[in-house]
Each structure stands twice: as structure tokens, then as C-alpha cells.
Amino acid sequence: MAKLDIITLPDRKLRMKSEPVERIDGELLKLMDDMLETMYAAPGIGLAGIQVNVPRRVVTIDVAKREDDEASPDPLFLINPEILWTSDDTAVAEEGCLSIPEYFAEVERPAKVRVAYLDRQGARQEIEAEGVLAICLQHEIDHVDGKLFIDHLSKLKRDMVVKKFTKIARLGPKPAAL
């Protein structure tokens, strides 16, 4: 496995709509293994292909550690994930994103979701989720459609974040501390 580079705001590729996966082959499985390793190392609980510069509809998720530090890894690999249903009741939770480092904000989303996807063997699966997993699924499926969690904030807040990251990118890497 190999750790991949995560692209960050204001990289315009984050706005790309990813392409559906048509064939699950060794290359795709390796990509997902590398994504999982990259996600654990970051550390994060979810990662979409486009965040490692691959515009394909693949997502890795593991919320086990987030809920219980002692828990063993429980990775989910989702190929071509699709939201089938969302609840009318909503929940507000603080979100962050590996592509928008060190920025957190409260986002309101449907509290429960049902998602269909293909697993690593190409079998169709359905999952119904609430809590952190429901948030994570919606956040990652937004990514494959070129959406970011800041799109759920007010325009004023969103513009401020984009401006901040554009400015940081223009300044380039921070000089080494003396």
C-alpha cells in the first residue's frame, strides 16, 4: 500500500463530478487500499477518490475509531455510491474535511440515509445509517459530485473560507521555523 497526496482547497479539481466505475479490477482495488491507508494516516474517517486526484466514484469510510478509541478498524469501501433515501428530520453536527484542513463548521443534513453501492466484489449492497456514519456518507457522496461541505454554509461563510485558502495557496509553503 502507498500513501497518496490529498488535494486541498482552492484546487478546482475538487469541483469535478467523478466518473462511475465500470470495471472493478486490481488497479481499482489497489486505489481503494491506498485511499484507506491515506485516510487512516491523515487521520480522517472518510475519503473520496477525487481528494487523491482520481475522479472516480469511490469512497472509503471508517467511523469505528471515532466512536470508540479502542475499536478495531472497520473499513467500508463504496463503489458508485448513491443516496436512495434521506429522512425528513435533520441533525446538525460539526464537520471538517481533509481537503479543507483545520476548518470546522456546523452543517445541517438529513439525520438518516439509505445508500446503495457496489462492494469490492462488485455485489450491490444497501446500508441504512444514522449518526456519524450518516454524515460521513453524505459528505463523501457530495465529494464524488464535486460538492464540498462548505456548500451547505451561508455564501458569506463559504466565500471567507475560499478566500482564506486561496491566500494561503498564493503564499506557498510556510518557511521552515528557525
Which residues are near Zn ion by CB under 5 A?
A: 97
Count Cβ atoms below 10 Å from residue 44 Cβ, excluding itself.
Answer: 20
Q: What is the DSSP letter of 56?
A: B
**Could you tell me the three cell numbers for 130?**
444514522
Between residues 7 and 160, which has the closer beta carbon with respect to Zn ion?
7
Question: C-beta of 121: minimal distance to Zn ion in Å?
Answer: 26
Closest Cα partner for 79 from 36, 120, 139?
120
Residues 148 and 153: their CA atoms lie apart, in Å, by: 10
For Zn ion, the closer CB: 97 or 135: 97
Least Cβ distance, residue 176 to Zn ion (angstroms): 29
Nearer to Zn ion, 32 or 97 (CB): 97
State the residue number with the nearest CB to Zn ion: 97
* Residues involved in catalysis: 140
